[in-house]
């Protein structure tokens, strides 16, 4: 049997060449669309690749037989035929097994609502390691181990750390209902009770009386001062008043930040040129597409890290990885309850991965 591969612009063109060289008795073993040319994946052109074969015992099937001009030409063609035979063997394997190789780990990742682009990156790494080691199978535990190793490399490139007191002001922003004020109280309590720091509150949340009263209640319990500000001048005056403090926590209004005007209002009230870090609070109970929209809305502010809240209210934690994969941001804290100051941690990489893959390590 003679087997040959053809590459043409269209299927009719390929069929014409096959008939001319192999005759009407030729059969198509495989056809697929391929891309060739271009630069860095751009401007590629699509072609049709066809593998055809003919039984050479039928002497009349080849219309224009051409003898080999050189011995090297003959060896080259024989080598190509050997390669094509190997491709045919590969095609004979059940496609279901090839596609199902990483199904189990993919189901786990999808159950955690990790997005397809990130899953594809993990799959590419798993496939490369699988082929490099020439394995016949790959146990689920090994797939988990490899996936965790890839994610560890990704997370190692991110800053995962709480407030280090390198700056004086910590600005907490985010949409309504994510638990900003309670989170601020937890950070303040840790600073006062564990780190022995001098702490003060500034709030720009003048839209909700209840929010101001809640912050004042925490301020009373911790014996720290609080200032309510309405504009940039008020903010500058309050920041100057607390210039001797180790940490000044700024609580902002929780509004519908799908409306860009509220982010602009923040920019007008708070002087982000101050000695300040800014963290964005996101709830793990939110859909990732909503989280993504919120991050985009806050892009005009100098957001450095994310605080993920309400871990105790969900069993799906893939959004943390999605945010870190898609945006140049780090993680400051994860909160998992309403208790102040207990229910807040600075997560380790192991902690984050155990949220995804099962189990959980204790954190201080």
CATH code at 184?
Answer: 3.40.50.300
- Domain membership flag for residue 344: yes
The predicted model gives 174-186 an average pLDDT of 89
pLDDT at position 127 is 87
Q: Are residues 135 and 62 in the same domain?
A: no
Q: Are residues 120 and 197 in the same domain?
A: no
- Per the rule left: phi > 0, alpha: psi between -120 and 50, beta: everything else, 47 is beta
Q: Are residues 226 and 287 in the same domain?
A: yes
Q: Are residues 342 and 317 in the same domain?
A: yes
Q: Whole-angstrom Cα distance, residue 270 to residue 40?
A: 44
Q: What mean pLDDT is reported for the chain? A: 81
Instruction: For tokens 């060449």, name the residue.
Output: 17
The predicted model gives 309-330 an average pLDDT of 93
Per the DSSP assignment, residues forming a β-bridge with 117 are: none
Question: Given pLDDT bands bounded at 50, 70 and 90, which one contains residue 60?
Answer: very low
Q: Pick the residue with more confidence: 362 or 159?
A: 159
pLDDT at position 39 is 55
pTM above 0.75, yes or no: no
- Domain membership flag for residue 199: yes
CA 121 to chain centre: 9
274-284 burial, b at 16+ Cβ within 10 Å, e below that, comes to eebbbbbbbbb
- Is 329:291 a contact under the CB 8 Å cutoff? no
- Domain membership flag for residue 162: no
Number of domains in the chain: 3
- Domain membership flag for residue 73: yes
Q: Whole-angstrom Cα distance, residue 327 to residue 159?
A: 12
Q: Are residues 302 and 185 in the same domain?
A: yes
Candidates 208, 172, 164, 206; CA nearest to 301 is 172
Percentage above 90 pLDDT, the chain = 38
What lies within 8 Å, CB to CB, of 184 at 6+ separation is 172, 201, 215, 218, 249, 251
Q: Are residues 68 and 101 in the same domain?
A: no
Question: Which of 41, 76, 92 represents a domain boundary (last residue)?
Answer: 92
Q: Are residues 48 and 125 in the same domain?
A: no
pLDDT at position 242 is 93
- Domain membership flag for residue 160: no
Q: Are residues 213 and 329 in the same domain?
A: yes
CA 359 to chain centre: 21
The predicted model gives 169-180 an average pLDDT of 88
Q: Are residues 210 and 331 in the same domain?
A: yes
Instruction: Determine if the peptide bond prior to 341 is cis (ω within 30°).
Output: yes
Q: Is the pLDDT of residue 195 over 90?
A: yes
Q: Are residues 246 and 348 in the same domain?
A: yes
Listed as own residue / partner, the contacts of 216-223 with beta carbons closer than 8 Å and 24 or more positions apart are: 218/181, 218/184, 218/185, 218/188, 218/189, 218/340, 222/185, 222/188, 222/189, 222/192, 223/192
pLDDT at position 267 is 61
The predicted model gives 297-310 an average pLDDT of 90
- Structural domain that includes position 146: 97-151
Q: Is the pLDDT of residue 364 over 70?
A: no
Q: Are residues 101 and 87 in the same domain?
A: no
Question: Which of 48, 66, 92 represents a domain boundary (last residue)?
Answer: 92
- Domain membership flag for residue 55: yes
Q: Whole-angstrom Cα distance, residue 317 to residue 305?
A: 17
- Is 130:138 a contact under the CB 8 Å cutoff? yes
- Domain membership flag for residue 111: yes
Q: Are residues 211 and 121 in the same domain?
A: no
- Domain membership flag for residue 334: yes
Span between the terminal Cα atoms of the chain, in Å:
70
Question: Which of 57, 92, 127 represents a domain boundary (last residue)?
Answer: 92
């Amino acid at each position: 049997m003679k087997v040959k591969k053809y590459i043409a612009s269209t299927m009719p063109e390929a069929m014409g060449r096959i008939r001319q060289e192999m005759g009407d008795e030729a059969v198509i073993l495989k056809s697929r669309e391929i891309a060739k040319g271009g630069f860095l994946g751009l401007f590629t052109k699509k072609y049709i690749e066809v593998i055809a074969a003919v039984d050479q015992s039928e002497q009349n099937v080849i219309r224009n037989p051409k003898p080999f001009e050189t011995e090297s030409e003959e060896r080259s063609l024989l080598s190509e035929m050997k390669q094509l035979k190997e491709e045919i063997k590969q095609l004979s394997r059940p496609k279901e097994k090839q596609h199902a190789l990483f199904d189990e780990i993919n189901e786990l990742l999808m159950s955690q609502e990790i997005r397809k682009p990130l899953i594809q990156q993990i799959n590419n790494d798993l496939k490369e390691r699988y082929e490099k080691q020439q394995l016949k199978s790959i146990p689920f535990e090994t797939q988990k181990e490899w996936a965790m190793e890839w994610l560890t490399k990704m997370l190692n490139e991110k800053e995962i750390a709480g407030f280090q007191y390198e700056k004086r002001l910590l600005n907490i922003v985010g949409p309504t209902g994510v638990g900003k004020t309670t989170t601020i109280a937890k950070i303040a309590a840790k600073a006062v009770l564990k780190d022995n720091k001098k702490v003060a509150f500034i709030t720009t949340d003048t839209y909700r009386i209840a929010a101001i009263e809640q912050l004042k209640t925490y301020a009373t319990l911790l014996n720290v001062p609080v200032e309510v500000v309405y504009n940039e001048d008020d903010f500058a005056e309050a920041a100057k008043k607390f210039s001797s403090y180790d940490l000044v926590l700024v609580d902002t209004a929780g509004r519908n930040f799908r409306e860009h005007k509220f982010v602009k209002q923040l920019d007008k009230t708070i002087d982000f040129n101050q000695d300040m870090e800014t963290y964005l609070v996101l709830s793990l109970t939110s859909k990732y597409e909503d989280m993504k929209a919120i991050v985009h809305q806050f892009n005009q502010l100098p957001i450095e890290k994310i605080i993920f809240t309400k871990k105790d209210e969900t069993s799906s934690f893939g959004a943390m990885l999605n945010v870190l994969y898609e945006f140049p941001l780090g993680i400051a804290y994860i909160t998992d309850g309403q208790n102040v100051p207990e229910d807040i941690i600075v997560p380790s990489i192991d902690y984050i991965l155990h949220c995804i893959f099962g189990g959980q390590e204790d954190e201080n």
